Amino acid sequence: MTLPDETQLQIIIQTTASMGKDLENEINYLDYLAFAINDDKEEDFNDWAMSSTWYVMGRLGGKLVSHIGIVDRTVRIGGQSLSIAGVGGVATHPQFRRRGFTDVLLHTAVEQMRQRDPQNAYDFAMLFCSDHMVHYYTKRGFSQVPNPVHILQSGQWILFEDHRMIMPLSGKPWPEGEVDVNGRSW
């Protein structure tokens, strides 16, 4: 894999609340290209993508080629409340894959998570992924946790089956017990 020349990849960090409609449309289109073409089911990418609190995005020649969405969420685990940076919507345009853009954006996102104001600090970064992505995220500092996770899906609470991975961002230990993500997955 060739890492991108950082002088070419423009990295942008922006809250979803400050985005205009044009950028929302770019994100939705990139999500469609990255996910829907290979997906059997129809998804509402507008609803899914804009549930992120903030984004780390990469532009190449002015074109949005990769992004990572972060959801600020307080979750309950075994009776404890933890502040989570939910890593989701990791997408790269199919024509720009295997160039290291996601690595650069993920590194930038984690650095931003760690630099947060102590009053609003995250305890952990957490993501959900399929079997084929576990190795990728493990190599980047995430580890699997066995906790069962419950999410809200189509108005019902369900047991989420994807792999659960975390990265510590504070000195707190990961608790035992069921995880209530306090809403939908990210």
Per domain, the residue ranges of the chain are 9-180
Burial of 6 (0-12, 13-18, 19+ CB in 10 A): exposed
Alpha helices in the chain (DSSP H): 21-35, 45-49, 101-114, 134-139
- Segment 53-59 shows an average pLDDT of 95
CB atoms within 10 A of CB 55: 22
CB atoms within 10 A of CB 35: 15
Does 10 score more than 70 pLDDT? yes
Please give the pLDDT value at position 120. 86
Single pTM value for the model: 0.85
Task: Give the architecture (CATH level 2) of 9-180.
Answer: 3-Layer(aba) Sandwich (3.40)
Q: What are phi and psi of 174, to 5 degrees?
A: -75, 125
104-159 pLDDT tens trace: 999 999 999 999 888 889 999 999 999 999 999 999 999 999 999 998 888 888 89
Please give the pLDDT value at position 185. 85
Separation of alpha carbons 159 and 179, rounded Å: 10
Q: Which of 3-7, 13-17, 55-59, 79-83 has the lowest mean pLDDT?
A: 3-7
Does 176 score more than 50 pLDDT? yes
Number of H helices, E strands in the chain: 4, 10
